[in-house]
Amino acid sequence: MAVTQKVGRSLKFAFLLLLLSAAVARPATYYVTIVGLGGSPEYDAQFAKWASDQDHEFKSKGVDAHTLTLSGPTATKTQIETAFNKLATEMDAGDGFALLLIGHGSFDGTDYKFNIPGPDLTGAELAALVNKLPPRRQLIVNMTSASGASIASLARQGRIVITATKSGTERNATLFARYWIDALRDPAADTDKSGSVSALEAFRYADRKTAEYFTGEKLLATEHPLLTDTPKPNPVRNPGPDNGEGMLASAFQLIRYDTPAAENKPGKQRLLAKKEELEAKIDRLKYEKPSMQEDEYKQQLSTLLLELARTQAEIDK
């Protein structure tokens, strides 16, 4: 009898430990980045770099992050569907999920389409892929041209939707992705000084930097980012209590600074400022390309890209 009671107590203790570990287990966050077609070597390289930089930030500062990037041959409609079917079996309702789209989009007046190898993905098809995933906390960041046209398909209760443009008619290649990624690097994006950056903080940072770029270059803005996270989508530029938007986004933590003091060192800030300046020069050069000799353009672009790579290497040290 004593042995039986001892065994019973041991099993009960083990069961309680199991319940306790389940209770304290921290939900994971799955970050899936899909890189679309660039249409030219220049954009192919830029999109690939943005995706790589974003992955680096999620892996180094992500909150229990699981990252997956689909590009090139792994970014066809069939491969994307296969990846999402697999993810659906791995995730739990308590996990977080973020889908990040980098590339070009289009809008024909009826459907938004994300440009990938082979048949494009429509906004409705993207929504169907995400709808079947278990996580209740969901974020979709569509950083493509014409992305505003995808809001109607993607928005639903419990989901944050961020787009680089306000409509399907803003069709120029976007800059939003660059500044979104910068928000994951720059401690200044952490406006509430919590040691982490939320989806709302990243959106506000990227929106502000995008607007500043066009103002600084004296160019007409060709993209106007939007955010919505309410059951009845009301996409806005300035989410807050007045319009009821942004509550879910403020609670969706993207990255956490484990050593914020190191990130705020003056040397790091100078490098971040230099990086932003170089990227602005590269964009300015792209606008000037039609009036330049091809060799001159390539030479200047190579010089700037090399300097940018060196600066990024210093930042990542």
pLDDT at 129: 97
SS3 187: helix
User: May I ask the CATH class of domain 27-258?
Assistant: alpha beta
For 32, the token pair is: 């899936």
pLDDT at 8: 47
For 188, the token pair is: 């200044």
Distance between terminal CA atoms of the chain? Answer: 64
pLDDT at 10: 43
Predicted TM-score (pTM) of the model is 0.82
Q: How far apart are CA 271 and CA 263, in angstroms?
A: 11
Q: Please, where are the H alpha helices in the chain?
A: 2-24, 41-61, 77-90, 123-131, 151-154, 176-185, 199-216, 247-251, 260-263, 266-288, 294-316
For 280, the token pair is: 């602005």
Helix 176-185 to helix 41-61 angle, to the nearest 10 degrees?
A: 20
Name the maximum alpha-carbon separation found in the chain: 93
Residues of the chain with pLDDT under 50: 1-25, 259-263
For 189, the token pair is: 């994006």
**Cβ neighbourhood burial of 287 (10 Å; 0-12, 13-18, 19+):** exposed
DSSP letter assigned to residue 236? B
Q: How far apart are CA 103 and CA 40, in angstroms?
A: 11
Q: DSSP string of 68-88?
A: EEE-GGGGSHHHHHHHHHHHH
pLDDT at 23: 37
Domain ranges of the chain: 27-258, 265-317
